[in-house]
Structure 1
């Protein structure tokens, strides 16, 4: 005859044991989790908006607010792209050059050059209806001008000071230039559109700014990153540099122009293609060069 089990009694005895302090307050585990890079980035991205709110309190200009929010998401996208591309050897100088040049000098050049004959007419036809001329304006005007301006600091880093050595590097830093351009452009658009003086509803205005501050900088990064890839190919091919740069600018200007030309779902598909093409190309850029 077997003895009856005493599981409940044993369970009762086990729960009566004193709870270790390290289990009640696992401070060691808290400190260990801080060593995880993902945990530190989570704290940064999760708490940064609170820090901004406390820092500026109630006194902040809408233009400054737009740039701060745009910068926040640009850093987030930069971190995600860095992981997607498997590129972690980031140099501060190569980041600072496009981050400073593109939103200041680059935006100024775009605004200046679009007033010149030729570009002026191309920009004007972008306001017409669904017409082939409108597509030409978006490709040869908006696309070519913006992609050329965004890639200027990368050309300098690659070919003049020679601080970039591979196509993957060129693609990543070009994407940073695109993020900087997208944030600056989005901030200027945000201050230009007043929901009280436009036909947008409050909901439409919120969605529009959501797109401009979050999605469009990423899209500009994808466009620029693709151009940067072709610039990077020219590092080891000096004789073909000019042709590669021109091809990259023109090809991406076509994608850029098609995105602007179409409305609705087609533009979404084009945007998705651009992002996938950029990441896929940059990820295997160096492997292709070693063949």
Structure 2
């Protein structure tokens, strides 16, 4: 307790010209979380792998046998592939800026890598697509003669395009199934398993696809193509240096090409999987479009070289445009759904005011700008009257407020069982505090937030214990999980729990 007899001394403000301890030793700051940063993950990996790769290099130089040197070389190549792929994935993650940990997206990476690595799982796909279906690529590529385009295209379509794109999409499809099940039954939208694996929309799908493609590249390049190249060159020349050079010359284009290769194909398919989650009326059509698009681009990349090598530039360009377009559109959809700013240096337009597709939204009364008075026109000059006539004074009408184009046309309310709750910016939604609901609203909390740049656009942020299910004005369903928001508009219906639903209506 403070001494009442001690004179009060106001606190001395810190001199901002002096650096604090946490500024001089930033990793000790309590205002940053190193372990939650993907940059920290990359930096720690570099700190561990760099010395280890130097030790592998020394082991290769001092190896007692050629086989020991080859093993050290292959291990070094595996690490190089892994680290380069991880950097590509981190680049996509930091650009997309999803509201989930990077560990969530590393799950598809690990799952696909394990599926490709273990022969039993991969063998099931090979049995279906390369033995039952006409996807036996090895029979087409046998011999020294250049295969013709049509038979190679057919074999690649089944044996590479359809097979590999479905394999990479398995964890994403499973996550989409979890999301669809939760939309039908909001009680399923909880638990660590659901939070880690479910697909929230196109942004999750595209990013998971990029990571799944990275897992495929890691196993295919580092464990198959590079070791085979090393063994082939060494057996032919007995030259360890030539084998190492050949492996490096193959490793770099395969890994760098992965951004417009396996990452692009599975990223495109993942986008359509996520789109099918939020657009259930066209779910199967969207899945088919995404699957066939990814498989077709993949197949063309593998087969157009028989016509002209220059055509591979075209296919790589198509894959690049497809992937970037999917990522940008996914970000635009996410920003529109959540009411948040995209911050993409102009590459994304989030519901421009006045755009044909942008539905007008009401502005909360507290956020409406005050009308500005418009000066009345000056009265006309009266002619000089004769002396005998007296002209009554002309009065100027009081200034009228000009109509504000941004003024709210309607006020929104949430109708729950006939109980009307106002929806105003800065307001709170706490259904547990509503006696009329008899305790059915326990755990249902939310806040009404304005758009960061458009005050007439409001969103409802879920701050409760479970996810909500919303029916949008176009009839599509959307899952609003904890810390996610839904844009408020007349006609939107929200199911908080079974039997407790609210409809957004306009007042007046």
TM-score (ref. length: structure 1): 0.75
**After the TM superposition, which residues 19-168 of structure 1 pair with which residues of structure 2 at under 5 Å, given as runs?**
47=47, 49-53=49-53, 58=59, 61-84=72-95, 86-92=96-102, 94-107=104-117, 108=119, 109-115=121-127, 116-121=131-136, 124-125=139-140, 129-160=147-178, 161=194, 163-168=198-203
Matched, 1:247 2:289: yes
Give the Cα–Cα distance (whole angstroms) in 2 for the partners of residues 123 and 254 of structure 1. 19
1:274 is displaced (CA, Å) by 0.9
Partner residue of 2:412? none
Give the Cα–Cα distance (whole angstroms) in 1 for the partners of residues 205 and 38 of structure 2. 25
Matched, 1:186 2:221: yes
Per mean C-alpha deviation after superposition, the further-off stretch among 279-288 and 116-125 is 116-125
Gaps in structure 2 of 5+ consecutive residues: 1-20, 60-67, 179-193, 337-356, 358-508
1:129 is displaced (CA, Å) by 1.2
Give the Cα–Cα distance (whole angstroms) in 2 for the partners of residues 229 and 99 of structure 1. 16
**Deviation digits for residues 145-195 of structure 1 (CA, Å, limit 9, x no counterpart):** 000000000111121246221201110011100001111100121112221
- Selected match of 1:266 from 304, 308, 311: 311
1:220 is displaced (CA, Å) by 0.9
Q: Structure 1 residues 126, 81: CA separation in 2 closer, same or farther (over 3 Å shift)?
A: farther
C-alpha contact (below 8 Å) 1:125/1:134 kept by paired residues: yes
Which is strand-richer, 1 or 2?
A: 2
Q: Structure 1 residues 100, 43: CA separation in 2 closer, same or farther (over 3 Å shift)?
A: closer
1:251 is displaced (CA, Å) by 1.0
Give the Cα–Cα distance (whole angstroms) in 1 for the partners of residues 283 and 38 of structure 2. 39
Give the Cα–Cα distance (whole angstroms) in 2 for the partners of residues 219 and 228 of structure 1. 14
1:285 is displaced (CA, Å) by 1.7
- Selected match of 1:176 from 202, 205, 211: 211
Give the Cα–Cα distance (whole angstroms) in 1 for the partners of residues 264 and 210 of structure 2. 6
Partner residue of 1:232? 274
1:110 is displaced (CA, Å) by 3.7
1:218 is displaced (CA, Å) by 5.7
Gaps in structure 1 of 5+ consecutive residues: 1-26
C-alpha contact (below 8 Å) 2:116/2:219 kept by paired residues: no
C-alpha contact (below 8 Å) 1:177/1:221 kept by paired residues: yes
1:46 is displaced (CA, Å) by 6.3
**Deviation digits for residues 74-126 of structure 1 (CA, Å, limit 9, x no counterpart):** 11001111233x22423355324312210112454444432432245355335
Bigger relative CO (Cα 8 Å, ≥ 6 apart): 1
Partner residue of 1:197? 235
TM-score (ref. length: structure 2): 0.45
Q: Structure 1 residues 212, 111: CA separation in 2 closer, same or farther (over 3 Å shift)?
A: farther
C-alpha contact (below 8 Å) 2:226/2:247 kept by paired residues: no
Q: Structure 1 residues 265, 256: CA separation in 2 closer, same or farther (over 3 Å shift)?
A: same
Q: Structure 1 residues 55, 235: CA separation in 2 closer, same or farther (over 3 Å shift)?
A: farther
C-alpha contact (below 8 Å) 2:205/2:270 kept by paired residues: yes
Per mean C-alpha deviation after superposition, the further-off stretch among 150-159 and 267-276 is 267-276
Q: How many residues align?
A: 264
**Deviation digits for residues 41-61 of structure 1 (CA, Å, limit 9, x no counterpart):** 885686565233256562865
**Corresponding residue SS for 1:129:** coil
Give the Cα–Cα distance (whole angstroms) in 2 for the partners of residues 139 and 73 of structure 1. 28
RMSD over aligned CA atoms reads: 3.5
Q: Structure 1 residues 28, 98: CA separation in 2 closer, same or farther (over 3 Å shift)?
A: closer
Partner residue of 1:212? 254
Which is helix-richer, 1 or 2?
A: 1
Give the Cα–Cα distance (whole angstroms) in 2 for the partners of residues 248 and 129 of structure 1. 28
